[in-house]
Copies of this chain bind each other. A is one copy, B any other.
Amino acid sequence: MAEKVKVVQMGLGPIGNRVTEILAERSDIEIIGAIDSDPAKEGRDIGLLAGLAPQGIKVTSDVNQVLGAKDVDAVILTTTSSLAKTYDQLVKLLPYGVNVVSSCEELSYPWESNAELARKIDELAKEHNASVLGTGINPGFMMDFLPIVMTGLSRNVRKVVVERIQDASSRRLPFREKIGAGLTLRKFNERVKEGTLRHVGLSESVQMMAGSLGWKLDSTEDIISPIMAERQSQSQIETGTETETQAQAAESDKVLGVQQIGRGLVGGDAIITLVFRAAIGEPNARDRIVIDGTPAIDLVIKGGVNGDVGTCAILVNAIPAVVEARAGLRTMVNIVPPRCFQ
């Protein structure tokens, strides 16, 4: 057996703690440090925080105490969805020459949305001979990486449509809150306006796909709408009609969840369409990839893949690929494909 990969977990919120659970199961990986800026977590055992037996690793807010003292292969960074905040953290981490796998959605493909920060991260990583990757189930896999992988079988591709339809009934509370389930329509609309209610990363998925397939887009769209009880008719869901509830529903009506549609357009024509729907009681939960090309491909994962498990698993599974990757800012399509190595 090869030597274990030495990993530091940074960011011990809900995602970070689930990552700890998976790291603790892996025979090929060793947790050798834990970092979080929350003073309430200082000195606590990373295992206890995750609901496991103690792992003998205490949380500290001092990056240098962990990275300055030990030989670390990779940091799993689960702190923020914001590229700007992630950049500030990378500035502290990369000088230690560590590779970084992050759940930051905006880091998954920042080359179009924020080319300047992308370039700065790429240069900083190369300067310190380290690799950086943003991944997760979405963005990072279902609505970008997997459709791109499927085009490996394509002689040509005209259009790609991806659906990720989730029933939030069985999901944990933070997820239901994230999609606005239970809010009044008025509150939902306020939160959309504030920018605090949206699935982060749909534009990044559109851009990753366009960049990987060599498509120059004229424009992109990212449209959020509420899903209301009275609109849950099967015919609308099957035809993919966008909800137009706001005109019909009262402001005090309760929202079941969110629909967000991302598009990549060329000459007014959507050659990339990503449909993300998550709501309480949403029927026909699935992940689906339809490639209009030669050959035609219609791939369905019935029930869909659980997002919490999938995101934490891919963060861990990506470590070996990122450690061996060329230095710089990587994306899911320019590393070797992560797999569950047990």
Residues 305-342 of chain A, each 1 if its beta carbon lies under 8 Å from chain B, else 0: 11001101110011000000000000001111111111
Asked whether, in the complex, the Cβ of B309 is within 8 Å of the Cβ of A212, the reply is: no
**Contact segment of A44-52, A83-91, A198-206, A289-297:** A289-297
Q: With A294-B309, A305-B295, A341-B213 in contact, is A141–B156 under 8 Å at CB?
A: no
The A contact surface, by secondary structure, is: mixed
The distance in angstroms between the C-alpha atoms of A146 and B301, with both chains bound, is 13
A115 within 8 A of B: no
Which residue of the partner chain B has the closest CB to A137?
Answer: B153
Asked whether, in the complex, the Cβ of A152 is within 8 Å of the Cβ of B314, the reply is: yes
A266 within 8 A of B: no
Looking at the assembled complex, report how far the CB atom of A235 sits from the nearest CB atom of chain B, in whole angstroms.
Answer: 21
Which residue of the partner chain B has the closest CB to A146?
Answer: B149
Asked whether, in the complex, the Cβ of A336 is within 8 Å of the Cβ of B339, the reply is: no
Interface residues of A (CB under 8 A from B): 22, 25, 28, 137, 141, 145-146, 148-149, 151-157, 212-215, 293-295, 297-303, 305-306, 309-310, 312-314, 317-318, 333-342
A151-B317, A155-B313, A300-B302 known, 14 other contacts, Cβ within 8 Å: A152-B313, A152-B314, A152-B317, A152-B338, A154-B317, A157-B340, A157-B342, A212-B339, A213-B341, A295-B305, A298-B303, A299-B299, A334-B336, A336-B336
20 A-B contacts (beta carbon < 8 Å): A22-B155, A141-B153, A148-B339, A149-B337, A149-B339, A152-B313, A154-B317, A155-B312, A156-B340, A212-B339, A213-B339, A213-B342, A293-B340, A295-B309, A297-B301, A298-B301, A299-B300, A299-B301, A300-B302, A336-B336
